[in-house]
Structure 1
Amino acid sequence: MISHLRLKTTKTLSPSICMQVDDNGFEFVVINHKNFDAAFSLHGAHLVHFQTKQQAPLIYLSKSTPYNHSKAIRGGVPICWPWFGNTEESKSKNLPSHGLARISQWTLANINETGVGVDIEFSLTANAETKAIWDHDFSLTLNASLSDQIELSLITNNTSNEDFSYGGALHTYLHVADSGHCSVEGLAPSYKDSLDNGKRKSSDQILNISESVDSIYDAGEQQIRVNDKSNQRTITINNEGNDSVVVWNPWVEIAKKFVDMPDDGYKTMLCIESAITSKQGVLIKAGQSHTLKTVIK
């Protein structure tokens, strides 16, 4: 799924992990483990690829997305933080949609490779650039544990002397063979329809994808199941620390408006997001932390 990128190796980090860059110096951590292939961008600590051996990719990445340090990557698992979408405050101040984390340069803090998989840690600490967007002291840690599954834990540490609240999401783009032949189970019985002014609606036990969907469900059941019928597989998602599950697919007309997604990109992606979307967010007291987590298999 990253074979379309022109990358060259700059540093070997372990037997299966190396740093690679594209022609513009955009940095990636590339993993070719015996059990899976994966890649992260240091821009956004962004998982852009994951695929176990002899299986279809689990993560979708748009081949049309640009790679520069001012824009978010379309696909993968963007980290939306410290807010989800566009809040009234962010719109009034012309602040970036989905916050600052996905457009910030993170640091590779630690790696550990075993015969089973890879544990990798990225970090982001408040600095002048982040404070120009969100004026709080914090440290973010993304812990990724990759094996036959993806486990992502986003830890928000409040390093300031005052409490703050945050929202966000692990905005997972799943790769599917055909979104029109996918169904989703395990969602809560009601949702807010973002395509209908956030109107609260009842949901069926099984969601079939057949048109544009942008729905915010309550956290609901422990496990969500995506039936990727054309790939003859079921993808399971387990979330923690979230108050919502966002299901999104732009479908035909909206996908055509994206310059960073092919017109038919909607056919092979479906977002199931571990999210914090409530207006009050999650309160983190000074010196405390909170973890938002998703496990995908």
Structure 2
Amino acid sequence: MEQLEHLGLSIQKQIDNAVFTATNDDGMLFYWIDHPQGKALISAYGAHIVSYHPYNQDEQLWLSQTSALDGSAPIRGGVPICWPWFGNTRQPNHGYARTQIWQLGSIETNDQHSVLTLQLTEQDIATSEFKFLLECQFTVGQTLSIKLTTTNRDNHPIEIAGALHSYFATDRDSVQVSGMGQTFLDKTQNFAEQTQTKFSLDEETDRLYTHPEHALLLTHGDGRKLKLSHQGEDVVVIWNPGDTKAATIADIHPDGAKEYLCVEAVRTQTPVTLMPAQSFTLMQQLTPTA
């Protein structure tokens, strides 16, 4: 339980064969999944997974040592949920789902994995423009699957976008990612279209890959590999602020930007229109390999 001790968490009670509730000194609620095939820590604030540790493998997600864990700001690291929009075209940045307290929907555990579902509805959002059910389902075992499903509960069409803004623990300067395709929009260059035949990062990298495969491969500098499967995305975003910009971001600890790379499943170029009672799922699955 090193993850719990490191974050100053204490177990409150066991609510399933492999699932426990835990809190920190600021009263934030977490769900600790302690399954033989994989362990995970998920915050009720933002339905935000901050740690995933498959059996006999290293930690897969990065969490900033200086991130607020008191509900005062979005968590920096793990897998933030951006919804019902992505980016800073509206306020708050990346939508409001990541700063809300989600309710426990269901838990199921078997020999292979534990499945925990958290829920958010328009009743939790004072300024919601429509009625909805938002569910985030985490399947934790030798692989990690995150499924973000929106259901329109209103009597008119609604439009949504979103992202699973994953921070992967890695050596930024030696990591390689394949399967994104060669064409991307460079946000640091006013979204100019660029082509790259060999993967490399810039000092500040913020790219929207427009023709990604649905399965990517992240290869760490030491040869370990992580397969990233996606569903529902229209671009894959690769982001790292670089050392200069990271130094101006309060919740990235010194040299923290060297420790991660964001590879995000994003739906933003073509927002989804949902008719009444219709649902849409954005998914990312992590499969560590030797």
TM-score, normalised to structure 2, is 0.94
Name the counterpart of 1:212.
204
Cα distance in 2 for partners of 1:221, 1:20 equals 38
Measure how far apart 1:55 and its partner are: 1.7
1:181 pairs, out of 174, 179, 199, with: 174
2:148 pairs, out of 134, 143, 154, with: 154
After superposition, where does 1:131-150 map in structure 2 within 5 Å?
A: 131-132=126-127, 134-150=128-144
Cα distance in 1 for partners of 2:266, 2:177 equals 17
Name the counterpart of 1:100.
96
Name the counterpart of 2:236.
245
2:280 pairs, out of 290, 293, 296, with: 290
Q: Percent identity?
A: 30
| Number of aligned residue pairs | 285
* Maintained 8 Å contact 2:55/2:142: no
Cα distance in 1 for partners of 2:9, 2:219 equals 33
Give the match's secondary structure for 2:59: coil
Cα distance in 1 for partners of 2:211, 2:15 equals 38
* Maintained 8 Å contact 2:154/2:277: yes
Cα distance in 2 for partners of 1:271, 1:164 equals 29
After superposition, where does 1:66-85 map in structure 2 within 5 Å?
A: 66-85=68-87
AA at the equivalent of 2:176: S
Measure how far apart 1:167 and its partner are: 0.8
Name the counterpart of 1:110.
106
Write out per-residue CA displacement over residues 148-199 of structure 1, whole angstroms, 9 at most, x where no aligned residue: 11111110001011111111101111111x1100111101221110111111
AA at the equivalent of 1:190: T
Name the counterpart of 1:130.
125
Measure how far apart 1:208 and its partner are: 2.4
Q: Which runs of 4+ in 1 moved over 6 A?
A: none
Cα distance in 1 for partners of 2:35, 2:247 equals 36
Name the counterpart of 2:59.
57
Give the match's secondary structure for 1:14: coil
Measure how far apart 1:131 and its partner are: 4.2
Measure how far apart 1:258 and its partner are: 1.3
Give the match's secondary structure for 1:207: coil
Measure how far apart 1:219 and its partner are: 4.5
Cα distance in 2 for partners of 1:70, 1:125 equals 21
* Maintained 8 Å contact 2:135/2:149: yes
Measure how far apart 1:289 and its partner are: 0.9
CA-based RMSD: 1.4
Measure how far apart 1:2 and its partner are: 4.8
* Maintained 8 Å contact 2:39/2:140: no
Give the match's secondary structure for 1:229: coil
Name the counterpart of 2:117.
121
Write out per-residue CA displacement over residues 133-159 of structure 1, whole angstroms, 9 at most, x where no aligned residue: x41111101111111111111100010
AA at the equivalent of 1:229: G
Q: For structure 2, which runs of at least 5 residues remain unmatched after alignment?
A: none
Measure how far apart 1:7 and its partner are: 1.1
**Quick check: 1:272 aligned with 2:263?**
yes
Deviates more, 1:207-216 or 1:160-169: 207-216
* Maintained 8 Å contact 2:40/2:52: yes
Cα distance in 1 for partners of 2:139, 2:52 equals 12
Measure how far apart 1:3 and its partner are: 3.6
1:223 pairs, out of 179, 200, 215, with: 215
AA at the equivalent of 2:49: L
Cα distance in 1 for partners of 2:120, 2:87 equals 20
AA at the equivalent of 1:119: V
AA at the equivalent of 1:16: A
* Maintained 8 Å contact 1:2/1:49: no
Measure how far apart 1:8 and its partner are: 1.4
Measure how far apart 1:35 and its partner are: 2.0
AA at the equivalent of 2:174: H
Q: For structure 1, which runs of at least 5 residues remain unmatched after alignment?
A: none
